[in-house]
Amino acid sequence: AAGVGLVGSSAYAQDALTPNSKSDIESYNNFYEFGTGKEDPARNAGKLDTSNWTIAVDGLVDNPGEYSLNDLIGGLTVEERIYRFRCVEAWSMVVPWNGIELADILDRVGVQSSAKYVAFETVVQPENMIGVQRNVIPFPYVEGLRLDEARHPLTIMATGIYGEPMANQNGAPIRLVVPWKYGFKSIKSIVRISLVDEQPPSTWNLINAREYGFYSNVNPNVSHPRWSQATERKIGGGLFAARQDTLMFNGYDEVAGLYEGMDLATFY
Amino acid sequence: MIVDRINRATRRVPAWPIYIVAVAIAGFQFYQGLTGALGPEPINALEREYGELALKLLIAGLVITPLRTFTGVNLIKYRRAIGLSAFFFATAHLAVWAFLDVRAWSRVIEEIIKRPYVTIGMAAFVLLIPLAVTSNKASIRAMGANWRKLHKLTYPAVLLGGIHYVWLVKGWPAEPFIYLAVIIALLAVRFKPFRFQRARA
């Protein structure tokens, strides 16, 4: 598939991190379109049809249109990024993603100066998605980033894991990865990218605004209303694995400047 | 009659194997957690398995009386074993949470105080303790009518258990809401007005 393969390793690849096994990464997922159980996506996502994938790019862009994957990312630099992945449910993984900086894609489509946010939308294939049939949350799943967050070099659009095309349950064929935010911000199986001038809706914020803010930066000091975010358990450690402390911005301190002057307890 | 056949059969089937099966299931699931059969996050999986089994058994205990009133099938001799097995799984659920998941007394206390869904779950467990302690023939004899009164604590305990489950999930998965609905229905049939109507019908 387009965009998979290694063309150099970035300064952001964190070799100190030990990635989870491929089987951990592919067997423990939240992808409610395929069911709410952690094992449901691995069981059900095989039905997702990723052939002839197109991504609508619209809104405040110079080159709007219906892009094929190759039109959108072909020729752009694919890098391996080994990132911590922290779920809002207080578990975590380390994933060796293969992807393209979102900024490169934004440059290709030509962002107009009036754009302030990027909005994303996940595919809906009701006939292939048991969770959509059961309406477990409103679909399509939508997410968004402020433009400066989207343009940050840590923000990538991933197409592979471990140098191979990613499994459907991980968000094939292309997904967002924003490593300093809770996992649900990293929207999967994207079919629409819109450049807009107002803060776009995001699914979990629509479901429960008190529990899930638009920003959703990993923050050990701001509890989820129902559970603590101070610690996390890394997946794959077995029955006797201890929790580890959660790091501010999931350890990616270089993004702190994006939120200067903002009270992160208010803008959670 | 099928009812008579079932009731006759219960005379030959003792209740004690229920305890053995309960312990065997808990042990097998722990073994599955060790070997990876519960997936890459076995602590949470085991916590959930034990908790769900506790709820299922508590619900089974609640089914026995209405089953007898509505159908005549009498499984009352199994109720103590079912109830104690439920308590066993609730204890195992709590133990996995405290010793494998949270692992620090200070944080266990903090979670019980600060997290309402934990508080509720803990309250349900505490309500079950006197029931487990008095589930023997000597207590029944010694307490007389008070024993029946005391064991009505099952009702709030099961209800709190059901709410505990619903409170911790994200979104609208069906399972916890089905559990809670079944619990509410089983408690509702015990209300006097409902019983009265049924008697006249």
Alpha helices in B72-191 (DSSP H): 79-95, 105-114, 116-133, 137-143, 145-150, 154-168, 174-188
Question: Is A238 close to B116, i.e. CB distance below 8 A?
Answer: no
B37 → chain A, closest CA residue: A238
- CA quadruple B133, B135, B137, B141: dihedral sign: positive
**Which strand ranges, in their side-by-side order, compose the sheet holding A142-146?**
A65-68, A54-59, A190-196, A117-122, A142-146
Instruction: Residue window 119-138, chain B: list those with CB within 8 Å of chain A.
Output: none
Question: Is A227 close to B115, i.e. CB distance below 8 A?
Answer: yes
Instruction: Report pLDDT for A81.
Output: 97
User: Is B116 part of the contact surface with chain A (CB cutoff 8 Å)?
Assistant: yes
Residues A159 and A7: their CA atoms lie apart, in Å, by 13
Instruction: Report pLDDT for A13.
Output: 47
Question: Is B41 close to A39, i.e. CB distance below 8 A?
Answer: no
User: Is B35 part of the contact surface with chain A (CB cutoff 8 Å)?
Assistant: no
pLDDT less than 50: residues of chain A? 1-13
Tokens of A264: 């992160």
pLDDT in tens, B66-89: 999 999 999 999 999 999 999 999
Tokens of A129: 């998605």
**How many domains is chain B partitioned into structurally?**
1
Instruction: Report pLDDT for A7.
Output: 45
Instruction: Report pLDDT for A136.
Output: 87
Cα–Cα nearest to A168, from A45, A30, A44, A4: A45
Tokens of A37: 């159980």
Instruction: Report pLDDT for B197.
Output: 54
B91-118 in b/e form (b: 16+ CB < 10 A) is bbbbebbbebbbeeeebbeebbeebebb
Instruction: Report pLDDT for B44.
Output: 95
Question: Is A239 close to B39, i.e. CB distance below 8 A?
Answer: no
Tokens of A30: 């939240």
Domain that holds residue B116: 2-200
Residue B15's φ and ψ, nearest 5 degrees, are: -90, -25
Q: In whole numbers, what is the pLDDT of chain B averaged over residues?
A: 93
A23 → chain B, closest CA residue: B40
| Encoded amino acid at B120, one letter | I
Residues A196 and A194: their CA atoms lie apart, in Å, by 6
Domain A22-259 of CATH type 3.90.420.10:
yes
Beta bridge partners of A157: A100, A176
Residues A97 and A161: their CA atoms lie apart, in Å, by 5
pLDDT in tens, B89-106: 999 999 999 999 999 899
pLDDT in tens, B141-191: 999 999 999 999 999 999 999 999 999 988 788 899 999 999 999 999 988
Q: Are A232 and A183 in contact (CB under 8 A)?
A: no
Residue B75's φ and ψ, nearest 5 degrees, are: -110, 20
As to burial, measured by CB atoms within 10 angstroms (0-12 exposed, 13-18 middle, 19+ buried), residue B169 is middle
**In the predicted model, is pLDDT for residue B43 greater than 80?**
yes
Cis previous bond, A173, omega within 30: yes
User: Is B100 part of the contact surface with chain A (CB cutoff 8 Å)?
Assistant: yes
Cα–Cα nearest to A146, from A263, A72, A255, A11: A255
